[in-house]
Amino acid sequence: MRISVIGCGYLGAVHAACMAELGHDVVGLDVDETKVALLAQGRPSFHEPGFPELLARHVGTRRLRFTTDPTEIRDAEIHFIGVGTPQLQGRLGADMTYVRQAVATIVEHAAPPAEGRPVLVAGKSTVPVGTAEEIAEALASSGKNLMLAWNPEFLREGYAVADTLHPDRLVYGLPEDLERGAVAKEILDECYARPLATGTPLVVANYPTAELVKVAANSFLATKISFINAMAELCDATGGDVTRLAEAIGYDDRIGSKFLQAGIGFGGGCLPKDIRAFMARAGELGVDEALTFLREVDAINLRRRDHAVTLAEEAVGGRLAGRKVAVLGITFKPDTDDLRDSPALDIAGRLWSRGAELAVVDPAAGDLLRRRQPELNVHDSIEDAIRDAHVVMVLTQWKEFVELDPAALVALPATPNVVDGRNVLDPRRWSNAGWRYFGMGRGVSV
């Protein structure tokens, strides 16, 4: 099929490359010339495992092109909308500017065949419920034969390629009209023929359900993380160990063991802003009480950052001013260079504003951070960062930090204190090697 993807950020660029991998002819459109120039040369504009290989395989063939020229989307049979919906400045709601611009671009440039089946517009961006209905109306009044489906995306950064090629489910939000719904489904089925053939579950629903599925899923994940972080607070107050607690409750299939890792909390471009936008939308709809619990989820999450700073203070015996803190990991999670709403970056900023001297190491975002916040003092080597530090903080669980040998490092810092912000180090091993270990909800420090 001929496909266009509007928006070549994280979601759009990976989606475009994966659609080429599924055998389609794809054009990715973005207004950002720098980003498009990189992608058009087959160079990734962000760190994502497996993505460079897809670009290398398909850019340069007819399969995958990236452009800033909207006329190039003309012949597509499906236009995917994959633009960002960031949090509004100073408010909880989502900024829909880019979605509106994408719809306007499609309406202006799409050229449906004079006769024959309609051209499908498939929304992938995370939007406030009710947006699809508005877009469907705009498409209907365009006078062009354009039809909308809502097809939310569930990919995780770090696994984006695998999640797109082998999704754990597909969701189609279709027009209520049965005949039109069947046509939209037929077009999407053709697009996703390969994952569907390998048994990917498909859920067909109306527009609001499909929009809600996405925010409901992210809200549930955020709630699960904040639940275990609330248990971490209880563990710290009682001498319990939240990692054992999570293991034990996770054996119950109804609870499940995933997303029960307590620590400095969730961040990134999705979970935090999605729960806030969801609360804002519920308020507009007059059902804000239904989501009051998400306020608590957000508050518990932000408290984790305060707690990490408190642990650092405790480790250095009070004031952080003039003390050296080695920060291992600055991205919001491993296997990405994404710094959006990163708890690690926020904590580092707070330590710095309290007068601490920082030494940050990150396997993917070091250069980016050096350009953006040189005051945080980025190092290339873990040893250099740790040397003479008063406390070492593991804030992102990159493999290279999880696998550190505490005995080999213990002579480097001024005082061997380690704050395990992700509960990924073995407390006994670190304390036996001579470190004072501080966990997040693992009872008293060892």
Summarize as ranges the residues that interact with ligand UGA (CB under 6 A).
126, 153-157, 218, 221, 225, 259-261, 263, 265-268, 270-271, 332-333
For 48, half-sphere exposure in the C-beta direction (CA atoms, 13 angstrom radius) is 27
Q: Would you call 414 helix, strand, or coil by DSSP?
A: coil
C-alpha distances (whole Å) from 393 to each of 68, 305, 409 are 42, 12, 14
C-alpha distances (whole Å) from 41 to each of 45, 49, 245, 386 are 11, 18, 49, 38
- Known active-site residue 270: yes
User: Shortest Cβ distance from residue 317 to ligand UGA (Å)?
Assistant: 28
- Backbone angles phi and psi of 67, in degrees to 5: -150, 160
Please identify, using beta-carbon distances, which residue of 181 and 334 lies nearer to ligand UGA. 334
Q: Judge whether 260 is annotated as a binding position.
A: yes
Q: To the nearest 5 percent, what fractions of the chain are helix, strand and coil?
A: 45, 15, 40
Please identify, using beta-carbon distances, which residue of 164 and 183 lies nearer to ligand UGA. 164
Please identify, using beta-carbon distances, which residue of 105 and 218 lies nearer to ligand UGA. 218
User: Shortest Cβ distance from residue 433 to ligand UGA (Å)?
Assistant: 26
Q: CA 371, 376, 377, 379 torsion: positive or negative?
A: negative
Q: Judge whether 350 is annotated as a binding position.
A: no
Please identify, using beta-carbon distances, which residue of 30 and 153 lies nearer to ligand UGA. 153
- Backbone angles phi and psi of 184, in degrees to 5: -60, -40
Q: Judge whether 358 is annotated as a binding position.
A: no
Helix (H) or strand (E) holding 66: strand 64-67
C-alpha distances (whole Å) from 94 to each of 121, 214, 293, 424, 435 are 21, 14, 19, 34, 44
User: Shortest Cβ distance from residue 397 to ligand UGA (Å)?
Assistant: 8
Q: Are 144 and 110 in contact (CB under 8 A)?
A: yes
Q: Which residue's entry shows tokens 């518990």? A: 300
From the list 18, 191, 235, 270, the catalytic residue is 270
Q: Judge whether 154 is annotated as a binding position.
A: yes
User: Shortest Cβ distance from residue 115 to ligand UGA (Å)?
Assistant: 38
Please identify, using beta-carbon distances, which residue of 263 and 441 lies nearer to ligand UGA. 263
Q: Judge whether 263 is annotated as a binding position.
A: yes
Q: Judge whether 199 is annotated as a binding position.
A: no
Q: Would you call 417 helix, strand, or coil by DSSP?
A: strand
User: Shortest Cβ distance from residue 267 to ligand UGA (Å)?
Assistant: 4
Which residues participate in the annotated binding site for substrate? 154-157, 214, 259-263, 267, 333
Which residues participate in the annotated binding site? 30, 35, 85, 126, 154-157, 214, 259-263, 267, 273, 333, 340
Q: Which residues are catalytic?
A: 270
Which residues participate in the annotated binding site for NAD(+)? 30, 35, 85, 126, 157, 273, 340
